[in-house]
Amino acid sequence: MATARRERYRKQTREEAKAVALAQLAESGTAGISVNAIAKAMGMTGPALYRYFASRDELLTELITDTYRDLAETLAQAVADAAPADRFRAMARAMRDWAKRQPDRYLLIYGTPVPGYHAPPETAEIAAGMMRTIFDACSTVGDADGATAHGGTAHGAATSHEQQPLTELEAELARHLEGVGSWVPGEEPGGELKGRALRTWTRLHGVISLDVQGQFTGMGFDPSVLFEAEIDALVRGG
């Protein structure tokens, strides 16, 4: 009984510390996260809190891991709840909605890297699972294999110059996979699907990152319109 009570207290203390750290993150960014300041806000001493988190990096790892899991679960749920034809749009919109609701957590994982901090392998595994969701959503739109009944590209016959960028991308993806293994768990996707998922990831995050950082402020238009245009273009394979 006493052991269970101590474990509950330990868990509660760690969760409270993470909540305070997130408040610090919102106020000052990652540079503002301080174990001693968190302890003070909780009515503890720094050394006492270090019994729950051995270092600031350990606390930061908890925040990053929780954030990756939350986003991964959000995207997976959005895809699961949508009809097959709507899964890509559902995934993309869920990504933006999540980021807009909690911009500080979004920037924690997609903003400026923390100097001197190295994320543990666990975060890469969670990110790989999230890429699996993106791959699966991408496979529900357009021609997932990249070849059409016309025997050429998705837009019919193309010149070698038009094909070259995709060829270079496929070669780079192949070199990457030979060096570090698959991005995603489960069955290995085809080359065109890998390229499509990579372009999807970068283009959606490009708009989201600018939006979350307030870069559209004062420009006089709604960035959600641009985001929907990017979704449409990705669905068309553009």
Residues 119-160 pLDDT 10s: 888 888 888 888 889 888 988 876 544 333 333 333 343 444
Tokens coding 219: 């420009």
pLDDT at 4 over 90: no
Contacts of 97 (CB under 8 A, 6+ apart): none
Task: Give the residue-averaged pLDDT of 93-105.
Answer: 96
Q: What percent of the chain has pLDDT over 90?
A: 51
pLDDT digits (tens, 9 = 90+) for 224-238: 999 999 999 999 876
Q: Give the global pTM.
A: 0.80
Q: What percent of the chain has pLDDT over 70?
A: 79
**Per-residue model confidence (pLDDT) at position 73:** 95
Torsion, CA 91, CA 200, CA 125, CA 211, rounded to 10: -70
**Per-residue model confidence (pLDDT) at position 158:** 40
Are the CB atoms for 208 and 96 separated by under 8 Å?
A: yes
The b/e string for 134-162 (b: 16+ C-beta within 10 A; e otherwise) is bbbbbbbbbeeebeeeeeebbeeeeeeee
pLDDT at 198 over 80: yes
DSSP 86: G
Task: Give the residue-averaged pLDDT of 183-200.
Answer: 70
pLDDT digits (tens, 9 = 90+) for 42-92: 999 999 999 999 999 999 999 999 999 999 999 999 999 999 999 999 999
